[in-house]
Amino acid sequence: MPVLTIDNLSKKYGPVQALKNVSFTVPKGCVFGILGPNGSGKTTLLGTIMDVLKPTSGSYLLFDEMPTENQRKGIGTLLETPNFYHYLSGEDNLQISAAIKGRGKEDIPRVLEMVNLTQRKDSKFNTYSLGMKQRLAIASCLLGNPEVLVFDEPTNGLDPVGIAEIRELMKRLHQEGKTIIMASHLLDEVEKVCTHVAILKKGELIASGDVNAILVNEDLIEISAGDMVKLKEVTAKLKEVTTIKQDGNMLQLFYPAGRADMGEVNKFCFENGIVLTHLLLKKKSLEAKFFELTNN
């Protein structure tokens, strides 16, 4: 049973189309990244799912049912900068969060341990680093042991150490069977943490699915010869090549990461009567793949 099913969801703010007919499914037990540049509709999408915003059209299901307030209460959510009392300790702030939620008071020692704040539970919130503050916010989300967690830019504003801390926490939560839905504009974060991804651009869904299929790392061999027509015919018979593109007087051969072999290409072309005038191996980075997806 999917945790979330979105069907042609749209949201308008006057003339601005924040979401346009977005549809995808979030499987249970996955870490689902909603990836896109700033202004792509990520926060609007999460706000709509959590009933902070009303959609203009379309629908969505939670746990394969029409969403209810009780269902949403069972989801740990971090959509905005957490509001904690600066002069209170981390533990005292969680006591207040548990009282507001009406559940999870008995969970406080467990969630403090999960986010590695047990040793600092009696320290005032204003003495925490940014990473510690974010981990306390996630601890608040974990009160009541929800099966599903929704985070909007969980590493926003953190330094590399803070980002690494949150990343490892996400991985541990996933290993415990939690379903995590997180919005991010950081490609590296999604690639390292998420199992599935949906890519948004200006409110439109560009791609969605398994992260290894959508954000695949590729090798690229660039070749050229005097007879480009014949070169194209010959290289179409090459094994392992996933895509062939022509860029001016260059032919681009795309391979799965680590599978490109320049020697094999040179030998194959020579044995088929073609002498290459240009042969170069390039790496197609994840950044290049993301740029290609969001700009075409």
- What would the mean pLDDT of 103-111 be, rounded to a whole number? 93
Residue 294 sits at φ, ψ, to 5 deg, of: -90, -5
Per the model's pLDDT, the better-predicted residue between 44 and 130 turns out to be: 44
pTM for this predicted structure: 0.77
Helices (H) and strands (E) in the chain, counts: 11, 13
| Mean of pLDDT over the chain | 89
Is pLDDT of 294 > 70? no
Helix 160-175 crosses helix 130-142 at what angle (to 10 degrees)? 20
| Helix intervals (H) in the chain | 42-49, 69-73, 90-101, 108-114, 130-142, 160-175, 187-193, 211-214, 228-235, 262-271, 286-295
Is pLDDT of 173 > 70? yes
Residue 287 has what pLDDT? 64
Is pLDDT of 291 > 80? no
Per the model's pLDDT, the better-predicted residue between 218 and 205 turns out to be: 205
Q: Give the three-class secondary structure for 130.
A: helix
Instruction: Name all domains of the chain by residue range, CATH numbers in brackets.
Output: 4-214 (3.40.50.300), 218-295 (3.30.70.100)
- What would the mean pLDDT of 100-125 be, rounded to a whole number? 93
User: Mean pLDDT lowest for which of 21-30, 65-74, 208-217?
Assistant: 208-217
Give CA–CA dist 252/255, Å, rounded: 10
pLDDT digit string, tens, across residues 71-94: 888 899 998 777 899 999 999 999
Residue 30 has what pLDDT? 96
Residue 103 has what pLDDT? 87
197 — pLDDT class (breaks 50, 70, 90): very high
Give CA–CA dist 240/261, Å, rounded: 10
Burial class of residue 149 (count of CB atoms within 10 Å of its CB; 0-12, 13-18, 19+) = buried
Q: Assign residue 102 a region: left if phi > 0, alpha if psi is -120 to 50, beta otherwise?
A: left
Residue 73 sits at φ, ψ, to 5 deg, of: -65, -25
Is pLDDT of 296 > 60? no
User: Mean pLDDT lowest for which of 3-12, 82-91, 102-111, 242-251?
Assistant: 242-251
The DSSP letter of residue 203 is T
Is pLDDT of 283 > 80? no
Burial 85-114 (b: 16+ CB within 10 A, else e): eeeebbbbbbeebbeeeeebeebbeebbeb
288 — pLDDT class (breaks 50, 70, 90): low
Q: Give the three-class secondary structure for 200.
A: strand
Is pLDDT of 285 > 60? no
Residue 135 has what pLDDT? 92
Residues 6+ apart with CB under 8 A from 60: 4, 5, 6, 7, 9, 48, 49, 67
- What would the mean pLDDT of 16-26 be, rounded to a whole number? 95
Q: Assign residue 199 a region: left if phi > 0, alpha if psi is -120 to 50, beta otherwise?
A: beta
Q: What percent of the chain has pLDDT over 90?
A: 60
User: Could you identify the residue written with the tokens 């006057």?
Assistant: 14
